[in-house]
Amino acid sequence: MQNETQIKELVKEKYGKIAREGGSCGTSFCGDVTNIMADSYSSLEGYNPDADLGLGCGLPTEFPKIKEGDTVIDLGSGAGNDAFIARRIVGEKGEVIGIDITPFMIERANKNAEKLGYENVEFRLGDIDDMPVKDNVADVIVSNCVLNLVPDKEKVIKEIFPTLKPGGHFPISDIVLNGQLPEGLKESAEMYAGCVSGAIQKSEYLNHIQGAGFSNVTLQKEKKIEVPDEILLQYISRDELKTLKKSGTGIYSVTGYAEKPAGAKTCCGPACCN
Ligand SMILES: C[S@@+](CC[C@H](N)C(=O)[O-])C[C@H]1O[C@@H](n2cnc3c(N)ncnc32)[C@H](O)[C@@H]1O
């Protein structure tokens, strides 16, 4: 796989294309796989079909404890799918900030917010591994199918912790693995952009969340993703596919929840860190 900068460029290129072409990669592959992972949002209040590009891999806004007046940050907000559901709950008094690295996604999300007439929903262009927001601002940070695309997941999780207010929480949906993928899948740029090969082991993911200082780390939903053989066979041989199926390796969409303890200090400099 490429270096971090190249991976981020690849992600921007793929998701920029999806944003411009209306939620599909056309004949290319990343839209196909992310659509397999997506759950239906249509029953959630605040759902806006224009913001649903079929790119999520769970419903992090299904069980969150978002309250009226809260400040919610959506990491990798895409066209604003979860941000608008959060806006429905926080109402006029709250605030929703979406962050995305892909300029065309930000453009699309802003157009959606404008159409909806929301003045307290803002989409910021930025990289979540260097969060463009101050510390201690969010009551809730949500994210849907994004951390798997970020090369340094531990760094992003460490950035999330100070951004949350003490007592704040972090519901997240993402893709994780149980077992090793064959090299052909691991090395594929399209599988990376399609949210498969950038995923890490579930245990490692949970350890990063716990290691950052979060408490009450729980998994609320887990679903095995069955990628069709015809897609897998574009990257691996028939023999490798057989071995993969026997190996028990699985690709899972998970929705989890974590809290920043109410008494937690946010590091504000060397003295505070010590
Ligand atoms: C699979 S899509 C999910 C979009 C949205 N969360 C949804 O459910 O519709 C991943 C999104 O994460 C964004 N993204 C990927 N890496 C990012 C990073 N390092 N910082 C900010 N956004 C990122 C992409 O631009 C893309 O919009």
pLDDT digits (tens, 9 = 90+) for 92-104: 999 999 999 999 9
Which of 63, 229, 247, 250 is closest to 175 using CA atoms?
250
Q: What are the structure tokens assigned to 167, written together?
A: 């007592």
Question: Residue 111 gets which letter from DSSP?
Answer: H
Pocket test for ligand 1, best of 29, 53, 84, 101 (most atoms within 8 A of CB): 101
User: How many whole angstroms separate alpha carbon 156 and alpha carbon 140?
Assistant: 15
pLDDT digits (tens, 9 = 90+) for 164-220: 999 999 999 999 999 999 999 999 999 999 999 999 999 999 999 999 999 999 999
Centre of ligand 1 to C-alpha 103, Å, is: 11
User: How many whole angstroms separate alpha carbon 60 and alpha carbon 265?
Assistant: 26
- Structural domain boundaries in the chain: 4-260
Task: Indicate if ligand 1 lies below 6 Å from the C-beta of 255.
Answer: no
Cα-based angle 204, 208, 210 (whole degrees, multiple of 5): 115
CATH superfamily, region 4-260: Vaccinia Virus protein VP39 (3.40.50.150)
User: How many whole angstroms separate alpha carbon 204 and alpha carbon 92?
Assistant: 38
Task: Please give the average pLDDT of every successive group of 10 residues along the chain, which has 274 residues.
Answer: 88 95 50 64 83 90 87 98 95 98 98 96 97 96 96 96 97 96 94 94 97 96 93 96 95 96 72 44
Residue bearing the CA closest to ligand 1, atom 7: 56
- Strand pairing of 95-100 and 71-75? parallel
| pLDDT confidence of residue 41 | 75
| pLDDT confidence of residue 24 | 45
**R_g over Cα of the chain:** 18
Taking all residues of the chain, what is their mean pLDDT, rounded to a whole number?
Answer: 90
